[in-house]
Amino acid sequence: METDKSYEFYKNFYEENRVSLLQYKNLREHFQKLVTNVMGNGYYNMGMDVYTCDEICCEDIARKSKGFFGALFPKKSRR
């Protein structure tokens, strides 16, 4: 089992996945802008890795947006 990857391995990996890597980079940048705009510049959560941090952040954004949109569009009472 080879543990050391050669320069050619990484070069080929990058060439084969360049578009996906650029799309991921773009998505992370825009997600961070959204977090900053919605949650504030000092937003922090207790997730232990990028996956749980993103999950908690999305839950926080959803909770905050429900409060905002709930105030704009209150539920009509049924009588």
Residue of 78 and 6 predicted with greater confidence: 6
- What single DSSP character describes residue 41? T
User: Angle of helix 50-72 relative to helix 7-39, nearest 10 degrees?
Assistant: 30
The one-letter amino acid at 7: Y
- The domain locations on the chain are 7-72
Report whether pLDDT(79) > 60: no
**CA dist., res. 3 & res. 71, Å (int):** 56
Q: If you compute the radius of gyration of the chain from its CA atoms, what whole number of angstroms results?
A: 20
pLDDT tens for residues 18-77?
Answer: 999 999 999 999 999 999 999 999 999 999 999 999 999 999 999 998 877 777 676 666
Whether this prediction's pTM lies above 0.75 is answered by no
- Give the residue among 68, 74, 45 at the shortest CA–CA distance from 58: 45
